[in-house]
Structure 1
Amino acid sequence: MQITSLGHASLLVELADTRLLLDPGVWSPGAAGQRDVAAVLVTHQHPDHLDQDRLPALLEANPGAQVLADPDTAKLLQDKGIDVRAVLAGDTVEVGTVTVTGVGEMHALIHEDLPRIHNTGMLLRAEGEPAFFHPGDALDAEPGQVDVLAFPLNAPWQRSREMTAFLRRLAAPHAVPVHDGLLSETGRGLYLDQARNLGSPDTQVHDLAGGRTEEFTAG
């Protein structure tokens, strides 16, 4: 498995000869240039996770790519004429030899005055490959044992102690920080230190800032 950071919440995950693009939002301009993508996975509709203006061109450049999204986003895109499959908690979809499973249901609470929306975390599994999980904007999902975990580094809906508790609870061997677009360089370093020092002692945090690609193996 290879994982490339495309900025903020977006990742390109390549496993079992399949390229999967997650959360191509407005703060992830590198996502729009991806090619040979088998599926675009969207955890929820917020603009930093889905750039609706760039999505049609992205799909035109990747003919045959499936679009899988939480139910709210699926309805939104279907109303715009985009072919998209809704993925709810427990749903499974085969993309090539990769199984995509929906995990979780709701976006974390931002504020009592703001209505909550659906959020579907995406669990990726393929034979002989590490299991990968991107939670979107929620920390309450239960994906089971995973090998590589994407975790939100900072968000208006998240305290740092909740981030480190998420890392401790899932205790994945490897973790990749996402959702860092609001942070200065200094602040990002502080949050990374907290993730490494206060998260799970069993987890190695891999910083993919700057569009880095890293390879992960099963076991």
Structure 2
Amino acid sequence: MNLTKKGHACVRLEKDGQLLVIDPGGVSEEDAAVGADAILVTHEHFDHFNEERLRAALDANPAAQIWTLASVAGQISAAFPGRVHTVGEGDTFTAAGFEVEVHGQLHAVIHPDIPRITNVGYVVDGAVFHPGDALTVPDRPVETLLLPLHAPWNKFSEILDYVREVAPRRAIDIHDALLSDLGPTVYGRMLGPDGPGTGGAEHIRLTPGEGLTL
């Protein structure tokens, strides 16, 4: 499986000529989802869900389909009839040849005064976990954790403890568009070999468009 970062929280996973895209939002690259055979959306916030990104992908590939939770499906099902599937925690399905499990229910708390919305994470092929905007710990081991590095709802101590609890082989930064150029240097040092320790997980940072083979 090849993974390519497409800006902020969006990644593309490719295997056997099939392409799965997760969270092509308004902060990801404009063509983030173009070429996708299947798209997964974790929740309704603009940086994870952008209807124009989805439309570009579905127009480019008439066979492409979307899997997402009810709050997003309700907004786009009429625009893309027959191509949107609603999923929730505990569901399993096959999308573009990838086996997907759904984990989690709620977005992380931003502030007690802000109502929580729903959020799901996806384990792909039993190996890669994208949690969306939550620190959900899947009830199964995963080799690759897509790590929400920086957001209004988290702090470094929570991120480090999350990596340790999930205990992946590698943690790859996502959700980092709000950081200045200095931010990745600081986070990289703290999550790297000079930091307090990730529990053995290798910390990896990809720039938009950069990829690696898992």
RMSD: 1.7
Q: Which runs of 5+ in 1 are unaligned?
A: none
Question: For residue 202 of structure 1, what is the amino acid of its counterpart?
Answer: G
Q: Which runs of 5+ in 2 are unaligned?
A: none
Following superposition, the deviation at residue 54 of structure 1 comes to 3.0
Q: TM-score, normalised by structure 1?
A: 0.90
Following superposition, the deviation at residue 199 of structure 1 comes to 4.7
Aligned counterpart, 1:194? 190
Question: For residue 115 of structure 2, what is the amino acid of its counterpart?
Answer: P
Aligned counterpart, 2:210? 212
Does the Cα contact within 8 Å between 1:137 and 1:152 map onto a contact in 2? yes
Distance 1:140 1:32 in 2: 25
- Aligned CA distance change for structure 1 residues 199 and 78 (closer, same or farther; 3 Å): farther
In the TM superposition, 1:16-35 aligns within 5 A as 16-32=16-32, 34-35=34-35
Following superposition, the deviation at residue 81 of structure 1 comes to 4.4
Q: Percent identity?
A: 36
Distance 2:52 2:135 in 1: 28
**Corresponding residue SS for 2:52:** coil
**Corresponding residue SS for 1:193:** helix
Moved >4 Å (runs of 4+): none
Aligned counterpart, 1:78? 77
Aligned counterpart, 1:105? 105
Following superposition, the deviation at residue 38 of structure 1 comes to 1.6
Distance 1:143 1:117 in 2: 22
Distance 1:31 1:149 in 2: 24
- Aligned CA distance change for structure 1 residues 203 and 54 (closer, same or farther; 3 Å): same
Distance 1:24 1:97 in 2: 19
Aligned counterpart, 2:156? 160
Number of aligned residue pairs: give it: 211
**Corresponding residue SS for 2:51:** coil
Distance 1:33 1:68 in 2: 13
Distance 1:149 1:30 in 2: 24
Aligned counterpart, 1:119? 119
Question: For residue 153 of structure 2, what is the amino acid of its counterpart?
Answer: W
